[in-house]
Amino acid sequence: MAFEELLARAGGVGLFQALQICTLLLPALLTPSHMFLENFSAAIPDHRCWVHVLDNSSELPANLSHKALLAVSIPLGPNQQLHQCLRFRHPQWQLLDPNATATNWSKAATESCVDGWVYDHSTFTSTIVTRWDLVCASQNLKPMGQSIFMAGILAGSFIWGLLSQRLGRKPILIWCCLQVAVTSASIILSPNFLIYCGLRFLSALGLPGILMTQSSLLAEWTTTRRRTVTMTILSCTYSTGQMALAGLAYTLRDWKDLQLAVSIPFLVFSLLSWWLPESARWLITRGQPERALQELQKVARINGHKEAKKTLTIEALMSSMEEDVTTETHGSVLDLFRVPVLCRRICAMLVVSCFLMLSFYGLVLDLQRLGRDIFLLQTLFGAVDFLGRATTILLLRFLGRRMTLGGSLALAGFCILANGLVPQDLQTLRVALAVLGQGCLGISLTCTTVYKTELFPTPMRMTVDGFLSSMGRLGAMMGPLIRMAQQAVPLLPQLTYGAVAIVSSLVLLFLPETQGLPLPDTIQDLESRSTTARGNQQDMVIMESTWL
């Protein structure tokens, strides 16, 4: 906790923090584009079977309209629209009779689309669905591909969480930006869907490293007083990225162009990140006070704090951080489950992270189910997410971390449950409930970013972040898989997404409030706080007993 004093000697919050935020917000703006990209690159257009009478110009009858040829070639589906996956084995000319009824074709022989499909290209010139025919019998390949992408984020969350604790925040950020740029841009060269999924997995592998190092560098170079505002700005940038994706997709209607547009900038981000200093908090806890002093002096120079040359010395640093350097240079993974105060916190946050991400991605990765204009829906989701995250500053200040997170999760759960029970023809109400639920989940994500940083000590912060991100991505991976059961049990996805959000809000009752407390730098800090809290509770019980 003495690092707050060292940061104050380096100028507190000044020009450096402003430049750091601007640099780290650039990749934050495009990171959501990769998460939600398949809302557009994998959009399913209207389609029907390819038939000789309609689509072979040499066989096209000159005396019949296109509508008439459709009627004799394609049967009607359950919604009384043209069937998307079947065609008549032979043209049913009798259906041109004005007196024809459903009995005239109900027993006619049909077959699957053995010659392929004809797609509507009015919205998108090309998507991965039209590229590899991910429709009808192959329609479950799309959510399977989304689950593979989430599996990459799951693996990356675990890998980069451990490596960033050993190698530092800065090198992981630079490498992950480079990895995302190369692998994601290579996706457009995929010869088949299998290779596409493999490259998406490798691209997803690098995204958690960017997300975790961004939040850690910002939190660890910001004072306690400014931390909530800083982390909220970061979260609002993610929301802005969602709206930016809608604009990019509206402009670039080919999935390959869109893929390149969200990939190449990460190459620039990897170059820009070289100027950033390493986390001095991390260097101190790793027993590298000399390097930590260099980084602090660099920050002081950028902040224009001229007195730092006298006040920031190795003697002052060792004196201020003597307890942290001598008692605890690093944290063991086993301590998370061996130390009672850590065990309670990590178990509760693992449940919250898993269920929160399951609900969030289950809702936002299926925009076409909510309406036809997915560009408008993506913009609405981004806008309400922005408003929700922006108001988090006030909610955290007046309600605290635990109540804000629990309340937003519970409200989101009820909105999702209600959305699943509203009839399909009430599209406006369903969109309104979905947007409100999305806004509440945005508040939950922002609050979680602040809350998890304050619950765990510096030596374990990135390791914990890796565990929580891994569990969250496990939930995100399960979301698309649950949608695969939608054909058998239509209400199962919505009921699941809503129920787990409500359950996770109840789990927060086992966590403490951290509002106004400085970041803990050691396990001893947490234990002393826990002891103090128990002492206050005992004093309160004694006072109540005396009063009675």
Residue of 217, 211, 221 lying closest to 160 (CA atoms): 211
Give me 494's structure tokens.
């919505």
pLDDT bracket for residue 61 (50, 70, 90):
low
pLDDT of residue 127: 92
* Mean pLDDT, residues 262-283: 87
Task: Based on DSSP, count helices (H) and strands (E) in the chain, helices before strands.
Answer: 25, 4
Three-state secondary-structure class, residue 111: strand
Mean pLDDT of 290-304: 79
Q: DSSP letters along 489-522, please? A: STTHHHHHHHHHHHHHHHHGGGS---TTPPPP-S
Q: How far apart are CA 35 and CA 427, in angstroms?
A: 25
pLDDT of residue 204: 92
* Cα–Cα dist 522/323, whole Å: 9
Average pLDDT of the chain? 80
Per-residue pLDDT of 369-404, as tens digits, reads 776 678 888 888 888 888 877 787 788 888 888 899
- For range 140-158, the mean pLDDT: 86
* CB-CB contact of 156 with 205 (8 Å): yes
Q: Which of 51, 47, 103, 45 is closest to 72 using CA atoms? A: 51
Judged against a pLDDT cut of 50, whether residue 547 lies above it is answered with no
**Predicted pLDDT at 438:** 83
DSSP at 520? P
Angle formed by the axes of helices 427-455 and 374-390, to 10°?
40
Residue 188: pLDDT band (50, 70, 90) is: very high
Residue 497 has pLDDT above 50, yes or no: yes
The angle, 0 to 180 degrees and rounded to 10, between the axes of the packed helices 265-272 and 169-186 is 160
The pLDDT, as a whole number, for residue 548 is: 36
Lowest-pLDDT choice from 55-59, 90-94, 341-345:
55-59
pLDDT bucket at 174, cuts 50 / 70 / 90? very high
- Predicted local distance difference test score (pLDDT) of residue 545: 35
Among the listed residues 347, 31, 390, 18, the one whose alpha carbon sits nearest the alpha carbon of residue 206: 31
Round to whole Å and give the CA distance between 314 and 204: 41
- d(CA 33, CA 242) in angstroms, rounded, equals 6
Of the listed ranges 50-64, 194-208, 471-485, the one predicted with least confidence:
50-64
Mean pLDDT of 99-108: 57
Give the pLDDT confidence of 339-350 residue by residue, as tens digits: 888 888 888 999
Q: Region 133-146: what's the mean pLDDT?
A: 86
Name the one residue in this structure whose structure tokens are 């000159």: 62
Please list the residue range(s) of the chain that carry CATH number 1.20.1250.20.
Answer: 3-44+132-527
> At residue 254, what are phi and psi to the nearest 5 degrees?
-100, 135
pLDDT band at 181 (very low <50, low <70, confident <90, very high): very high
Cβ atoms 439, 384 nearer than 8 A: yes
Q: Which class in CATH covers the domain with range 3-44+132-527?
A: mainly alpha
Q: Could you tell me the pLDDT band of residue 259, with boundaries at 50, 70 and 90?
A: very high
Q: Taking 80 as the threshold, does the pLDDT of residue 485 lie above it?
A: no
- Interval 529-538 mean pLDDT: 53
- Which contiguous run of DSSP H or E holds residue 69? helix 66-73
Residue 136 has pLDDT above 50, yes or no: yes
Lowest-confidence segment of 142-146, 217-221, 231-235, 308-312 by average pLDDT: 308-312
Q: Which of 59-63, 251-255, 426-430 has the lowest mean pLDDT?
A: 59-63
Task: Check residue 129 and give its pLDDT.
Answer: 92
Tell me, rounded to whole angstroms, the distance of Cα 285 from its chain centroid.
Answer: 30
More confident residue, 161 or 498: 498
- Residue scoring higher pLDDT (97 or 213): 213
Determine what percent of the chain is predicted with pLDDT higher than 70.
85
User: Which of 454, 526, 1, 505 lies closest to 534 in space, CA to CA?
Assistant: 526
- Please give the pLDDT value at position 256: 94
Most confident of 5-9, 23-27, 183-187, 355-359: 183-187
Interatomic CA distance for residues 111 and 90, integer angstroms: 10
Q: What is the DSSP letter of 168?
A: -
Cα-only R_g, the chain: 27
Q: What local confidence, expressed as pLDDT, does residue 176 receive?
A: 93
Quote the pLDDT of residue 265. 93
Nearest to 151 by CA among 187, 185, 201: 201
Which of 65-79, 166-180, 389-403 is predicted with the least confidence, judged by mean pLDDT? Answer: 65-79
Q: What's the per-residue H, E or C state across 247-269?
A: HHHHHCCEHHHHHHHCCCHHHHH
Element (H, E) at 117: strand 117-119
Tell me the per-residue pLDDT of 191-237, one tens digit each, with 9 for 90 and over. Answer: 999 999 999 999 999 998 898 888 888 877 777 777 777 877 887 88
